[in-house]
């Protein structure tokens, strides 16, 4: 069990009064106190030995978490930065890209490819559905390519079968690129075991750190492909990161204090145990879903992630107003839907630093509020 003290976050309401609220959003998450304290350390210089030890420690923990034996590059960016790094480094202008979309973050892969003048083939599932592996197989039968997809689609709560995707891409001599930002640490996804070629993550979700750091892990064959990529890049040029990693450095000034927080978050996961941590997330997710079903509300995803729970709102209820009122009246913040789902769903984040006790109180408040409607 992770013990935390009360974290205070404030929002100014319409009357100008600052009110405290707590995060139950799917990232950023409620950060543990020991992680916050770690970020308050003095900066070290990023061209000397202490930083090398910090960076190597983080990469070492990530290799254990991801079961990755090859390269991991740490970036100072949001998860989207790591997504862009994946696109610009794994693809060349002549490559065939296939994007599997089941929500807003799958669509982000599509937008990134188009930005670099790559016209991808699209495999699409309805919001709330997971990608059908058969649809991927049918597409890759036509010819090898680079498949971009998500582990946990944060916009809908849907979990994709990455292990099955890996079998298919391997069978058809293709590459598998996975956005693991929301799922890593909450949903299982292992590089070698799942035949993943590129796996990206970020600090602010199940890894329990503040936003600002992302990372990209490569298989050996992906590393070889990256060395030959002809797409334009500068800040996210992984060949440059490779040269600096050999010295235990990053090519540009990193968010050093956030790195201290990420290291502390990863240390916590290692102390809990990787399998036990996955089990902890599963138990919490099951508890939340049982409570929501007990309130006679429907869940959106067919195959849900352990990182968050997504509730479908009845037609007579708008989640935008519900979220606003609960924040103002009870000091608890849930997340709205994105794009076409705004106002139609309510998302409860429970990856990282959450317990059943903490979530029970939040859901009690949600239930109490909804009964008044």
Residue 369, C-beta contacts closer than 8 angstroms, at least 6 positions apart = 322, 325, 326, 329, 330
* pLDDT given for residue 17 in this prediction: 57
Residue at 254 is within a domain: yes
* pLDDT given for residue 221 in this prediction: 97
Residues 84 and 115 in one domain: yes
How many domains does the chain contain in total?
2
Residues 191 and 301 in one domain: no
Q: Give the model confidence (pLDDT) of 76-109 as tens digits.
A: 999 999 999 999 999 999 999 999 999 999 999 9
Last residue of a domain, one of 227, 252, 270: 270
**CATH number reported for the structural domain that contains residue 82 in this entry:** 3.40.640.10
**CATH number reported for the structural domain that contains residue 361 in this entry:** 3.90.1150.10
Our measurement of the distance from residue 173's CA atom to the centroid of its chain's CA atoms, rounded to an integer in Å, reads 27
Q: Which helix (H) or strand (E) holds 264?
A: helix 256-272
pLDDT range class, residue 16, cuts 50, 70, 90: low
Last residue of a domain, one of 270, 288, 316: 270
Question: Per the structure block, which two tokens stand in for 354?
Answer: 């959450």
* pLDDT given for residue 21 in this prediction: 86
Q: Give the model confidence (pLDDT) of 166-210 as tens digits.
A: 999 999 999 999 999 999 999 999 999 999 999 999 999 999 999
* pLDDT given for residue 3 in this prediction: 39
d(CA 290, CA 288): 6
Residue at 158 is within a domain: yes
pLDDT range class, residue 11, cuts 50, 70, 90: very low
Residue at 145 is within a domain: yes
Residue 285, domain extent: 10-32+273-371
Residue at 4 is within a domain: no
- Residue 373: is its pLDDT beyond 90? no
Tell me if 71 is assigned to a ligand binding site. no
CA distance readout (Å), 74 to 105, 230, 262, 280, 315:
21, 22, 11, 27, 44
Residues 61 and 125 in one domain: yes
Average pLDDT value for residue range 120-135: 97
* pLDDT given for residue 18 in this prediction: 58
Closest CA to 281 of 356, 366, 336: 356
Residues 182 and 205 in one domain: yes
Q: In residues, how long is the chain?
A: 373
Question: Per the structure block, which two tokens stand in for 113?
Answer: 């490819």
What is the chain's mean pLDDT, rounded?
95
Average pLDDT value for residue range 357-368: 96
Residues 114 and 258 in one domain: yes
Residues 155 and 297 in one domain: no
Average pLDDT value for residue range 335-361: 96
Three-state SS string over 210-243 comes to CCCEEEEEECHHHHHHHCCCCCCCCCCCHHHHHH
pLDDT range class, residue 20, cuts 50, 70, 90: confident
Residues 261 and 278 in one domain: no
pLDDT range class, residue 252, cuts 50, 70, 90: very high
Residue at 165 is within a domain: yes
Average pLDDT value for residue range 326-343: 95
**Separate counts of helices (H) and strands (E) for the chain:** 12, 17
Name the β-bridge partners of 201.
215
Residue at 320 is within a domain: yes
d(CA 363, CA 122): 37
Residues 100 and 122 in one domain: yes
Q: In sequence order, what E strands does 57-167 have? A: 72-76, 97-101, 121-124, 146-150, 152-153, 158-159
Last residue of a domain, one of 217, 239, 270: 270
Average pLDDT value for residue range 315-321: 94
Residues 169 and 301 in one domain: no
**Residue 165 CB: number of other CB atoms within 10 A?**
25
Q: Give the model confidence (pLDDT) of 211-237 as tens digits.
A: 999 999 999 999 999 999 999 999 999
Residue at 243 is within a domain: yes
Residue at 343 is within a domain: yes
Residues 16 and 156 in one domain: no
Residues 164 and 197 in one domain: yes
Residues 97 and 201 in one domain: yes
* pLDDT given for residue 95 in this prediction: 98
């Amino acid at each position: 069990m992770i013990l935390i003290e009360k974290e205070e976050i404030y929002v100014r309401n319409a009357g100008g009064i600052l009110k405290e609220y707590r995060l139950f959003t799917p990232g950023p998450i409620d950060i543990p106190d020991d992680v916050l304290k770690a970020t308050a350390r003095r900066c070290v210089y990023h061209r000397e030995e202490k930083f090398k030890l910090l960076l190597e420690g983080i990469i070492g923990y990530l290799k254990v978490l991801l079961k990755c034996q090859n390269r991991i590059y740490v970036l100072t960016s949001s998860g989207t930065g790591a997504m862009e790094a994946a696109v610009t480094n794994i693809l060349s202008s002549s490559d065939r890209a296939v994007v599997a979309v089941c929500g807003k973050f799958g669509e982000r892969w599509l937008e990134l490819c188009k930005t670099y003048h790559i016209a991808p083939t699209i495999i699409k599932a309805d919001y709330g559905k997971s990608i059908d592996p058969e649809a991927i197989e049918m597409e890759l039968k036509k010819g090898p390519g680079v498949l971009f997809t998500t582990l946990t689609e944060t916009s809908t709560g849907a979990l994709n079968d990455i292990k099955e995707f890996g079998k298919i891409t391997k069978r058809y001599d293709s590459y598998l690129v996975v956005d693991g930002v929301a799922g890593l640490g909450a949903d299982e996804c292992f590089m070698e075991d799942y035949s993943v070629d590129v796996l990206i993550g970020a600090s602010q979700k199940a890894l329990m750190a503040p936003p600002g750091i992302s990372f990209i892990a490569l298989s050996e064959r992906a590393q070889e492909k990256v060395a030959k990529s002809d797409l334009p890049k500068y800040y996210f040029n992984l060949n440059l990161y490779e040269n600096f990693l050999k010295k235990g450095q990053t090519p540009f000034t990193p968010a050093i204090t956030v790195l201290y927080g990420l290291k502390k978050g990863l240390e916590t996961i290692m102390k809990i145990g990787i399998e036990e941590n996955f089990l902890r997330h599963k138990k919490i997710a099951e508890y939340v879903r049982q409570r929501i079903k007990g309130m006679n509300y429907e869940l959106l995803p067919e195959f849900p992630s352990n990182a968050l729970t997504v509730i479908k709102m009845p037609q007579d209820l708008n989640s935008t107003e519900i979220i606003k009122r609960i924040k103002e009246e009870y000091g608890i913040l849930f997340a709205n839907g994105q794009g076409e789902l705004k106002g139609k769903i309510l998302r409860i984040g429970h990856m990282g630093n959450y317990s059943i006790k903490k979530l029970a109180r939040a859901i009690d408040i949600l239930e109490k509020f909804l009964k008044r409607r």
